[in-house]
Amino acid sequence: MANANGSLTASIREAAAYIAERTTIRPQIALVLGSGLGVLAEGIEDAVSIPYKDIPHFPVSTVEGHASELLVGMLAGKPVLMMKGRFHMYEGYGPETVSFPVRVMKELGVTTLLVTNAAGGVNASFRPGDLMLIKDHINFMFRNPLIGPNDSSIGVRFPDMSEAYSRKLRELARSVGEKLGVEFQEGVYAGVLGPSFETPAEIRMFRALGADAVGMSTVPETIAARHSGIEVLGISCITNMAAGMLDQPLSHDEVMETAELVKEAFIRVVKGIVAELPDAKA
């Protein structure tokens, strides 16, 4: 993918134009669906589906359990863009590639990003199947999508990250959850590169550092979103207790199985949240 500044802007515009040509729907809300959480795509109406491989400059996801299509349609009465399958740095992509779709969302007029992921529970009071509102993150990927020349037409050189995950959106999510009988945990997400799961020593370190969950995504997308002024709501599905917390090995199968178990509650609460998101000011 193009890296020099001018050609990056051109790539963003080309990708956005390709998507905009395929639908009259103009989404203000975007959803990124994490491992095993792609089921939400079933709830979308009047959708056009665009395979990532057809979108100019889009990378293609290579992980099992991650589809590779972008949907634009209506969810809970709102125009949305949905990414079924995302890109991870462990696939070999740089952070600027992983966050490229967020740039395209911004170009399309998106103002709110609802990002979901599967994560390991680091907080001992969590249980597999819990949903956690991300209150903050720790960037343990030691990579940043904003490295390189800054495009000041997108955002500032040194973006503020003191409220990366909108407090207002977390409150809205919590109140929707209360109405629908879906409880949320809340906590700090530590983003790691993967793809190996963590060691028990690493998990003890993350707990000491204040993390409640650990996962291999979300951080680059959130940084790019904040850079471009998009509000972020992050929800982790705690698919497993992190390494060393239970006397059993971790597997991607367990991640997928737990995601499958919570999908009903997850779909319900995300639809409820989307329904209540305020329309952006014109």
Cβ at position 259, least distance to ligand HPA in Å: 9
* Nearer to ligand HPA (CB atom), residue 58 or residue 184: 184
Q: Please list every residue from 174 through 213 that binds ligand HPA, using CB under 6 A.
A: 197-198
Closest-CA residue to 262 (of 273, 251, 270, 252): 270
Could you say whether residue 115 binds ligand HPA (CB under 6 A)? Answer: no
Count Cβ atoms within 10 A of the Cβ of residue 278 and give its class: 0-12 exposed, 13-18 middle, 19 or more buried. Answer: exposed
Cβ at position 207, least distance to ligand HPA in Å: 13
Cβ at position 64, least distance to ligand HPA in Å: 13
Could you say whether residue 216 binds ligand HPA (CB under 6 A)? Answer: yes
Could you say whether residue 118 binds ligand HPA (CB under 6 A)? Answer: yes
Could you say whether residue 141 binds ligand HPA (CB under 6 A)? Answer: no
Tell me the two tokens of residue 163. Answer: 């409220």
**Catalytic site includes residue 216:** yes
How many residues make contact with ligand HPA (CB under 6 A)?
13
The CA distance from 66 to 139, in Å, is 23
**Catalytic site includes residue 35:** yes
Cβ at position 210, least distance to ligand HPA in Å: 17
Select the span of 15-23, 77-85, 102-110, 112-120 touching ligand HPA (CB under 6 A).
112-120
Could you say whether residue 132 binds ligand HPA (CB under 6 A)? Answer: no
Could you say whether residue 272 binds ligand HPA (CB under 6 A)? Answer: no
Q: Please list every residue from 234 through 253 that binds ligand HPA, using CB under 6 A.
A: 239-240, 242, 250
* Nearer to ligand HPA (CB atom), residue 198 or residue 231: 198
* Nearer to ligand HPA (CB atom), residue 110 or residue 190: 190
Could you say whether residue 255 binds ligand HPA (CB under 6 A)? Answer: yes
3-class secondary structure for the chain? CCCCHHHHHHHHHHHHHHHHCCCCCCCCEEEEECCCCHHHHHHCEEEEEEEHHHCCCCCCCCCCCCCCEEEEEEECCEEEEEEECCCCHHHCCCHHHHCHHHHHHHHHCCCEEEEEEEEEECCCCCCCCCEEEEEEEEECCCCCCCCCCCCCCCCCCCCCCCCCCCHHHHHHHHHHHHHHCCCEEEEEEEECCCCCCCCHHHHHHHHHCCCCEEECCCHHHHHHHHHCCCEEEEEEEEEEECCCCCCCCCCHHHHHHHHHHHHHHHHHHHHHHHHHCCCCCC
Catalytic residue among 2, 49, 90, 265: 90
Within 13 Å of residue 111, how many CA atoms lie on the same side as its CB? 12
**Catalytic site includes residue 252:** yes
Could you say whether residue 120 binds ligand HPA (CB under 6 A)? Answer: yes
Cis preceding-peptide flag for 79 (omega within 30 of 0): no
Could you say whether residue 85 binds ligand HPA (CB under 6 A)? Answer: no
**Catalytic site includes residue 240:** yes
Residue nearest ligand HPA, Cβ-based: 120
Q: Which residues are catalytic?
A: 35, 66, 88, 90-91, 118, 216-217, 240, 252
Residues of this chain that interact with ligand HPA (CB under 6 A) are 118-120, 197-198, 214-216, 239-240, 242, 250, 255
